[in-house]
Amino acid sequence: MSLLPFFEWCEATWIGEAIRGSLWLFPVIEAVHLLGLCVLGGAVLIIDLRLLGLGLRNHPVAQLTRDIRPWLIGSLVVMLSTGTALFLSESIKCYYNTSFWVKITTLPIALLFTFAIRNRIASREGLATTATSKLVGAISLTMWFVVAAAGRWIGFS
């Protein structure tokens, strides 16, 4: 079964219509998406760098992960809601866009990895940098990099 009808339905939603019908709505939502990226990037990096044994090495990973959690979740909420709005405004373009498919498949994997694996392992880690923590930090960084890079590339194709 083709997903195209679903994408056509998305594009026809009133949100999609409203964004397409406005000169400034898309740029504004996209700008907020970009601001969300800054905060998300900071929240992800500060923990991943720490897992790799860089940055705030003199603080336990568990404490940092707990402290930064509201910012991680808050920025994700901004990213996901603005991202959905942007998608609704150009769903059919996305359907034919390889970068979109790369992003939309790696995003749930990155989310799942971050909350189900990374944060769980991080909450058990203390001051020492272990081989496990390094591996987890490297995987997380790589995944989020692919999500972000593919996201930017949607606009080029």
Partner 1 sequence: MSLLTFLEWLASTHYSVALHESLFIYPLVESTHVLALTLFVGLAVILDLRLLGIALRGVPVSDLTRRVLPWTKVGFAVMMITGLLLFYAIPVRNYQNIFFRIKIVMLVLAGLNVWIFHNRTERSVAEWDTDPRPPRGARAAAIISLGLWAAIVVSGRMIAYNWFDCDIQPQSDVINWAAGCTVPPK
Residue 41 interacts with partner 1 (CB under 8 A): yes or no: yes
SS3 label, residue 141: helix
Please state, in angstroms and rounded to a whole number, the distance separating the CA atoms of residues 11 and 20: 9
29 binds partner 1 (CB under 8 A): no
* Contacts of partner 1 in 59-88 (CB under 8 A): 59, 63-64, 67-68, 71
Choose between 72 and 136: whose C-beta lies nearer to partner 1: 72
Residue 156 engages partner 1 in binding (rule: CB under 8 A)? yes
CA distance 47 to 116: 15
CB 18 within 8 A of CB 110: no
Give the number of residues in contact with partner 1, rule: CB under 8 A: 34
- Applying CB under 8 A, the residues found at the interface with partner 1 are 23, 27, 30-31, 34-35, 37-46, 49, 54-59, 63-64, 67-68, 71, 145, 148-149, 152-153, 156
